Amino acid sequence: MSLRELKVCLLGDTGVGKSSIVCRFVEDSFDPNINPTIGASFMTKTVQYQNELHKFLIWDTAGQERFRALAPMYYRGSAAAIVVYDITKEESFLTLKNWVKELRQHGPPNIVVAIAGNKCDLSDAREVLEKDAKDYADSIHAIFVETSAKNAININEIFTEISQKIPLLDTSDSGVRGLKLRRDQSDVTRERTCC
């Protein structure tokens, strides 16, 4: 079974719950002995997808307006981006559209985009209709789910869908690094002659 490292970056306004989503995803199978990270800004989780292991390297970005110019440093080389908005804040959905636009224009080619409408547990205060968001996501061929990090709704689903949308292992695929877990013993003398 091969291990693939998939860099996933999180984009979205501050306060929409980007890091909560990751924490929920990572901690659902929390094992302190496995690769603990020093903080919630960067987290990893390995899941099995078909006959591959997908190790998600999840890069959180700062959502404040002022830090927005720094985002390209974070999303470069990403295999996927999860753009998060808060269903109770319409403004965060507008920001999301800007992020998608920027990713489409300047992000890595073939980047998988997932849209997460977070805080769906607060549907009383909803400002963004699920249908509107879904239509928008469809129009840009993005993954779409409404999530609740608080109630653990649809969290794993986002990552499963990302796994499905990631192209099969291909050496020229940017942002995806294939790692061979086993290596054959090499014939030393042959090795020498080949150079």
**Using CB under 8 A, which of the segments 117-125, 137-145, 158-166, 171-179 binds other proteins?**
171-179
Q: Which is nearer to other proteins, 12 or 117 (CB)?
A: 12
Does 1 help bind other proteins (rule: CB under 8 A)? no
Burial of 153 (0-12, 13-18, 19+ CB in 10 A): middle
Does 168 help bind other proteins (rule: CB under 8 A)? no
Cβ of residue 188: shortest distance to other proteins, in angstroms? 5
CA dihedral 157, 26, 42, 21 (to 10 degrees): 50
Identified binder of other proteins from the candidate list 4, 20, 113, 137, rule CB under 8 A: 20
Does 134 help bind other proteins (rule: CB under 8 A)? no
CA–CA distance, 108 with 39 (Å, rounded to integer) = 26
**Using CB under 8 A, which of the segments 12-20, 123-131, 137-145, 160-168 binds other proteins?**
12-20
Does 5 help bind other proteins (rule: CB under 8 A)? yes
Distances (CA, A) of 158 to 60, 84, 122: 16, 11, 19
Window 49-78: contact mask with other proteins (x via CB under 8 A): --------x-xxxxxxxxxxxxxxxx-xx-
Cβ of residue 43: shortest distance to other proteins, in angstroms? 9
Contacts of 194 (CB under 8 A, 6+ apart): none
Burial of 62 (0-12, 13-18, 19+ CB in 10 A): middle
Size of the site for other proteins (CB under 8 A): 61
Q: Which is nearer to other proteins, 36 or 167 (CB)?
A: 36
Question: What DSSP assignment string belongs to 110-165?
Answer: T-EEEEEEE-GGGGGG--S-HHHHHHHHHHTT-EEEE-BTTTTBSHHHHHHHHHHH
Cβ of residue 169: shortest distance to other proteins, in angstroms? 12
Does 117 help bind other proteins (rule: CB under 8 A)? no
